[in-house]
Structures are given as C-alpha cells and as structure tokens.
C-alpha cells in the first residue's frame, strides 16, 4: 500500500523553479530518502508534502488525503522534523511537548503517558524538566523527533535529521529511526546529503535541480553504474593485459600505467584470478560502486563538490540554533 503518492508536484518561487513536477510513491513502512546537493529542492518538496508550503502545481496524497484539499487531515496524520531548529529553548523539554500536544489536540489524559513513551524512545525522560537551552545539539534533535511523534503520526518527515551532529550522535539517531520502522511500522520520509545515510534507506530518490533523476534501492542504483573496478599492477603489464583479454574476455583499460578492468564481483573474481594466473601481480585495488559514483554517473558532477563542507554547514547550523 502506498502512503504517499506524488503526481507532478511543482514549486516555483518568483522565476526560480525549485521543484520541477516530480512524481513518485512511498510504500507503507518504508524508509524513503531524498538525496541531493544544496538547493536541489529537498526541503521544498518535504515542506509541500507536510503542508508547510503550498505547491504551484501538481498534487499529492499523504495517508490518503490530498495535500491541496485535505490540508488539516494531512497535517494531523504526519509528524515533521524541520531542517532548522524549532524548539523554544526558554522552555523545558516537557513544556515544549505540552505546547505541541495542545496544537495537535492530544488530550490531557493521554499526554503524560505519551510524553513518557516518546521521551523514553529517545532517552530523554530523565531530562524532561530541564530547559532546552541546557541541551546539546544531539539532545535537541532527539527532542524534536520525540515531539514529532507525540500525536502518533503514521508518517514521519525528517528534513536533514542529522545535520551538524557528530558521527556518534548521528549513528545513535539512526538507531531510533530504525526502531520506529521496526516497532511502530512507521513510514519515514527523510532528506539527506550524506551518502552513508542514504545507504540505510530502503529506497532513494536522487534529486538534482528540482528533478528526480533516479529512484531505486541503494543496491540497484549502484548496480546501475556498472560492476566493481579492479586495478592491477604488474612488472609484466603487457603480458597480463593479453591474458586478461584472452582468458577472461575482459576489456582492459591501460591508459594510466595500471590495468583497470570491470568485473561483476571483485571479491570472488580476485582469488580466482590469483589462483589461475602465472604472472606476478605487484598491487591490487578493488573499488565497489558507491552512491557518489551513482550521482556522478547520472549528473556528471560530484555531490560533495557542490555541497558546502561539513564544517561550514555545521557552523552555519549552530549559528542558526543560537550558539556562538
């Protein structure tokens, strides 16, 4: 069953096309990722699906409700964690949650039990009476996720949930996300520009300049780029080249002094090659396709080069959070 269906969704700001008529479906219980460089249109897309921004064109259904005609029903059925921090840091954790509960019509009777449940999930129950001002970046992010879950949404939208966090906190947050999928059967729609994060999604849409340029499982996307690249060096390079071509029927690229071949599975090919070959090999390198390669092969550009450095982004993020 699809819990999100998007058809020709489009957003134009003045004369800037931010999202260029995208269409895709998300199945129930999926972790679906939007991967793309800065300015690709990720936040704009998520904000349209989460009723923060009205689309310029197209439509989508979320939990069966149209984002154009049933805005209130969509809003009540989803949880949202924004890219930019949105907690009130002059209030305590529980006060922030209480405010959200009022907004979403969670009754007083239900509130305390739910608060315990969502704060336990992100390990913040014992900090519930502390001011958010005293929380670290990772703790704030966890509290934002807890808040997004308070009204029991069927879908959780996370816009760059781990931006600006250290690797350990990022890994920790991922545990929570995977737990939500496993224990609550929740559908998770997230945006990211981290390749390793995208790897953990069930499916990924690669978005570039407002268009979805590819959509599949991480494995299928990587397979689409080609096989594993094996780079070999030998003192008898030309003999080796002939052998690889004749015996193994491989196409050999010897343009930079080493021999590069593409094989389906490097881990099994290499031991077999070493066992059979009579030519001595002096060095070997195995490169398996990554999502970087996928982005590069589709767009001709490197996602990293276009994305501000981690340090700049983290600093910008902390500035916006009000740290100096």
- Binding positions for ligand ATP, rule: CB under 6 A: 13, 16, 18, 36, 38-44, 83, 193
Beta-strand (E) ranges in the chain? 2-13, 16-27, 31-35, 57-62, 65-66, 78-81, 155-159, 187-192, 203-208, 211-216, 228-233, 259-263, 283-287
- Name the binder of 40 from ligand ATP, Mg ion, none, CB < 5-8 A by kind: ligand ATP
Using only the alpha carbons of the chain, give its radius of gyration: 24
Q: What SS3 class is residue 178?
A: helix
Give the chain's largest Cα–Cα span: 79
> How near is the Cβ of 43 to Mg ion at its closest, in Å?
3
The CB-of-219 to ligand ATP minimum distance in angstroms stands at 24
Residue nearest to Mg ion (CB): 43
Choose the one of Mg ion, ligand ATP, none that binds residue 39, judging by a C-beta under 5 to 8 angstroms depending on kind: ligand ATP
Residue with smaller CB distance to ligand ATP, 13 or 274: 13
Residue 47 in the binding site for Mg ion (CB under 5 A): no
Cβ of residue 29: shortest distance to ligand ATP, in angstroms? 25
137, containing H or E segment = helix 137-149
Candidates 3-11, 64-72, 75-83, 299-307 — which segment interacts with Mg ion by CB under 5 A? 75-83
Q: Give the one entry of ligand ATP, Mg ion, none that residue 195 binds, where binding means its C-beta sits below a cut-off of 5 to 8 angstroms depending on kind.
A: none
Which residues make beta-bridge pairs with 32? 189, 203
44 binds Mg ion (CB under 5 A): no
Site string for Mg ion, 79-118 (x = CB under 5 A): ----x-----------------------------------
For the bound state, the minimum distance from the C-beta of residue 177 to ligand ATP, rounded and expressed in Å, comes to 19
* Pairwise CA distance, residues 61 & 161, whole Å: 23
Closest CB to ligand ATP among 184 and 304? 304
Burial of 224 (0-12, 13-18, 19+ CB in 10 A): middle
- Binding of residue 43 to Mg ion (CB under 5 A): yes
Dihedral angle computed from the Cα positions of residues 286, 292, 293 and 299, in that order, rounded to the nearest 10 degrees:
-170
Interface size with Mg ion, residues (CB under 5 A):
3
CB count within 10 Å of CB 314 equals: 16
193 binds, options ligand ATP, Mg ion, none, Cβ within 5 to 8 A by partner type: ligand ATP
Look at residue 16 and give the partner it binds from ligand ATP, Mg ion, none, a contact being a CB closer than 5 to 8 Å depending on partner kind. ligand ATP
- Of 18 and 215, the one with the shorter C-beta distance to ligand ATP is 18
- For 231, the 3-state DSSP assignment is strand
In the complex, the residues that contact Mg ion under the rule CB under 5 A are 42-43, 83
């Amino acid at each position: 069953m699809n819990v999100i269906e998007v058809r020709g969704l489009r957003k134009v700001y003045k004369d800037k096309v931010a999202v260029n008529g995208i269409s895709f479906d998300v199945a129930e219980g999926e972790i679906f990722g939007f991967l793309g460089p800065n300015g690709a249109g990720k936040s704009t897309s998520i904000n349209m699906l989460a009723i923060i921004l009205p689309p310029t064109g197209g439509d989508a259904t979320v939990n069966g409700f149209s984002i154009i005609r049933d805005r209130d029903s969509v809003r009540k059925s989803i949880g949202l964690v924004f890219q930019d921090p949105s907690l009130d840091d002059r209030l305590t954790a529980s006060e922030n949650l209480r405010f959200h509960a009022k907004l979403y019509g969670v009754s007083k009777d239900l509130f305390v039990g739910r608060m315990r449940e969502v704060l336990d999930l992100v390990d913040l129950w014992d900090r519930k009476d502390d001011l958010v001002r005293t929380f670290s970046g990772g703790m704030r992010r966890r509290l934002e996720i807890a808040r997004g879950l308070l009204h029991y949404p069927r879908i959780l939208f996370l816009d760059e949930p781990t931006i600006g966090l250290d690797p350990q906190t990022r890994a920790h947050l991922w545990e929570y996300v995977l737990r939500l999928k496993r224990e609550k059967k929740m559908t998770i729609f997230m945006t990211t520009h981290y390749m390793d994060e995208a790897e953990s999604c069930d499916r990924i849409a690669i978005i570039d300049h407002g268009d979805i340029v590819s959509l599949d499982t991480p494995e299928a996307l990587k397979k689409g780029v080609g096989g594993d690249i094996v780079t070999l060096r030998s003192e008898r390079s030309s003999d080796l080249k002939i052998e690889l071509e004749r015996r193994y029927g491989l196409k050999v690229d010897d343009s930079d002094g080493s021999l590069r071949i593409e094989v389906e599975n490097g881990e099994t090919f290499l031991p077999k090659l070493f066992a059979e070959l009579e030519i001595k090999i002096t060095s070997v390198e195995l490169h398996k396709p990554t999502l970087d390669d996928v982005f590069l092969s589709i767009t001709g550009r490197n996602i990293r080069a276009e994305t501000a450095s981690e340090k700049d982004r983290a600093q910008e993020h902390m500035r916006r959070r009000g740290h100096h």
